[in-house]
Amino acid sequence: MTAQIHSAMPAAFPSPRLLADVGGTNARFALELAPGRIEHIHVLACAAYPSLADALMAYLALPDVLAVAGAGIRHGAIAIANPVNGDFVKMTNHHWAFSIEVLRLAVGFEVLVVANDFTALARALPLLAEHQKRQVGGGQSQAGAPLGLIGAGTGLGVSGLIPSASGWTALLSEGGHVSFPPMNPDEVAILQYAWTEFSHVSAERLLSGVGIELIYRALVAQRGHAEPMLPAPEIARRALAGECPLCDAAIEFFCTMLGTIAGNLGVTLGATGGIYIGGGIVPRLGERFDRSGFRARFEEKGRFRAYLAAIPTYVITAEYPAFVGVSAILSERLAA
């Protein structure tokens, strides 16, 4: 798969820069030829490669990439769905593990930056155009205020942007692993079912692709009759097609539960600049997400209902926003 992102035509970099966005399922690679000119985007399945180095080498060997880059890439930046603390990175949602320095030497880069994927995505938020996001519900963004970010996919990513006199600071958060907070008896029952499989049920256990499957299993168990076990994409497909009330119920619980965590993030950060929703799941739900209980649950904070009602929530609709953020991180490193 390949795609291109074009803005204006600024002066080219002396050599192309490698950008990557690595999740638990797919690794996305691109070349930045000039500021904002991101091209030669390819998506590689993580399961097809024994290591990140193998996937990166495979990308660099693709004919269109090789024709543009040759042996001339000197700088690279990788956003990865994992904590990044020090040189060694071991993914929690995939089996890849690597040393940043060893990987840099293997590909022959002068500089290789590795950052948490939601830290990179957070850096992209102020750069999103209006057509690259969709507001769900009311509220109005306050200029110069903190921004919150949450996104469900293979896992649950959480971050935020804090303003300062020199720009923005992206949070290195693992907020997806907070304990899941049920808000009503139905969610208590889902949590009780989840406890039969996990000793600790984090928000990520339920607000992710495998989380949708877990919610669905809990609903099947509660109803006490035979239902086929389904993967998350099929649950979502049947829900969106109106073919399966049980699948639709699973999606509705997912959306409302996400509203709880997003609202928690809003009051924790004081994110009156807005809460942004990324990840692979919500953008694909489209209008179904907009008419779900997400926004009502987001605002359901008792005495702080009015506070949250004033905070806008946006679904990120840009196709590859993490590239923009990780490019900004790389540019700062090179300018230091």
Domain count, the chain: 2
Model pLDDT for residues 259-283, shown as the tens digit of each residue = 999 999 999 999 999 999 999 899 9
Average the pLDDT over 282-311 and give the result. 97
Given a cut of 50, whether residue 11 has pLDDT beyond it is yes
Average the pLDDT over 113-119 and give the result. 92
Q: How far apart are CA 112 and CA 99, in angstroms?
A: 11
**Are 72 and 103 members of one domain?**
yes
pLDDT at 300: 97
> Under a CB-based contact definition with an 8 Å cutoff, are residues 151 and 204 in contact?
no
**Are 297 and 326 members of one domain?**
no
For 59, the token pair is 């990308």
Given a cut of 50, whether residue 1 has pLDDT beyond it is no
pLDDT at 9: 62
Average the pLDDT over 300-310 and give the result. 97
Average the pLDDT over 42-47 and give the result. 96
Given a cut of 60, whether residue 190 has pLDDT beyond it is yes
Model pLDDT for residues 56-98, shown as the tens digit of each residue = 999 999 999 999 987 689 999 999 988 899 999 999 889 999 9
Cα dist from 302 to 148, 263, 265, 323, 335, whole Å: 20, 12, 15, 38, 46
- Percentage with pLDDT > 70 across the chain: 97
**Are 207 and 264 members of one domain?**
yes
Average the pLDDT over 239-248 and give the result. 97
CATH of the domain at 276: 3.40.367.20
**Are 113 and 62 members of one domain?**
yes
What integer best gives the mean pLDDT of the chain? 93
Q: Which pTM value belongs to this model?
A: 0.87
Q: How far apart are CA 83 and CA 67, in angstroms?
A: 34
**Are 174 and 154 members of one domain?**
yes
Coil vs helix vs strand at 28: strand
**Are 116 and 136 members of one domain?**
no
**Are 114 and 184 members of one domain?**
no
Q: Which domain holds residue 329?
A: 2-122+320-335
pLDDT at 16: 95
**Are 77 and 181 members of one domain?**
no
**What is the maximum span of the chain, computed from C-alpha positions, in angstroms?**
64
Average the pLDDT over 26-37 and give the result. 94
Given a cut of 90, whether residue 214 has pLDDT beyond it is yes
Higher pLDDT, 167 or 278: 278
Model pLDDT for residues 119-166, shown as the tens digit of each residue = 999 999 998 989 999 999 999 999 999 999 999 998 899 999 999 888
For 196, the token pair is 């039969």
**Are 156 and 22 members of one domain?**
no
**Are 264 and 134 members of one domain?**
yes
> Under a CB-based contact definition with an 8 Å cutoff, are residues 227 and 215 in contact?
no
**Are 50 and 64 members of one domain?**
yes
Comparing CA positions, the residue from 18, 22, 53 lying closest to residue 38 is: 18
Given a cut of 70, whether residue 3 has pLDDT beyond it is no
Between 16-30, 157-171, 199-213, the lowest mean confidence (pLDDT) is in: 157-171
pLDDT at 174: 86
Phi, psi values for residue 68, rounded to 5°: -90, -45
| Backbone CA torsion sign across 133, 139, 140, 146 | negative
Cα dist from 34 to 9, 10, 37, 39, 64, whole Å: 8, 6, 5, 10, 17
